[in-house]
Amino acid sequence: MINDKKVLYSGMQATGTLTLGNYLGALKNWVSISDEYECFYGVMDLHSLTIRQEPANFRKNARNLYALYVAAGLDPEKNCLYYQSHVSAHAELGWILDCFTYMGELNRMTQFKDKAAKHADNINAGLYTYPVLMAADILLYQADLVPVGVDQKQHLEICRDIAERFNNLYGEVFTIPEAYIPEAGAKIMSLQEPERKMSKSDENENATVRLLDDTDTVIRKFKRAVTDSGNEVRFSEDKPGVSNLMTIYGCVTGKTMEEIEKEFDGKGYGDFKLAVGECVADELRPLQERYYALLEDKTYIEKCIKENDEKAQYFANKTLRKVQKKVGLTERIR
């Protein structure tokens, strides 16, 4: 708890341009809960190193991600928006927690298996111990809540296991985090393969709407979106394409599935896809305007980064010193 508020922690990797899935599944929800919790949001650049990065593009992507956080409505004075690599406590605690994590636990991580299959030429140790660094990210800030999608639940579970194991040995050092799962928009699917999650790395450009796509591009992608047999706008397991578009429309407009079904009763998929594309384009336009303005205001962004890095370092180092003392590391002479 900080200032009588529960602590909420999350972050995104500093690779590529954020998608509509990142926005509706996470970023938009983060903005809506900013007043309710003490929030820490990282630009997760250390995690991004499990895949080879081109240095200049990597730095640019990290900066752009930070600007998108702010452009989306995350106030840097209310939320702690910081670079993971600027807080060395992440790596230090990550190593300590490595020593409290079992090989069997890491072997069960399905995301490692998936990523190893995709990057067979670079199956590195960082990819394997990724969940431990993620646990360090969360536990450093004594997070009560972690917004997670369905595919991240396993990582939160191992984080809880590591924290409980450490607490059983050394006392109540870490807060045991709980999952925070929003009711809607938790998983936005590909526009071309609605059985798969929308991804920044999808090679099919028509599958993914990116936050910086212009209006014409957004509408064109929705017009090309895969639907299902028939022409009825109905939310159902046997209609994954239409259900995904309805989820997107509902997240943007605030309408329920029943209201959407009623709105498009008797209308075809063409009308529906155009309406979804137009409402998404309208939603993204002000975000894009703020984003490009922020990129021009380098002084403001750098001030935000400096102040928020310092705030993150304060809380992270507080936890790290406690952990170091508990495990018996020699205290630093200050």
The set of catalytic residues is: 115, 197, 200
Q: Spell out the alpha helix ranges (H) of the chain.
A: 20-22, 28-32, 55-71, 89-98, 103-107, 110-118, 125-128, 130-140, 153-170, 215-223, 240-253, 257-263, 269-296, 298-327
Q: Which residues pair with 159 in a beta bridge?
A: none
87, two tokens:
């807080």
Which helix (H) or strand (E) is 82 found in, with range? strand 80-83
In whole angstroms, give the CA distance from residue 92 to residue 76. Answer: 26
Q: How many CA atoms lie within 13 A of 331 on its CB side?
A: 6
Q: How far is CA 8 from CA 23, 89, 150, 257, in A?
A: 17, 18, 18, 29
What three-state secondary structure class fits 243? helix
Task: Give whole-number Cα distances, 53 to 56, 272, 329, in Å.
Answer: 9, 39, 34
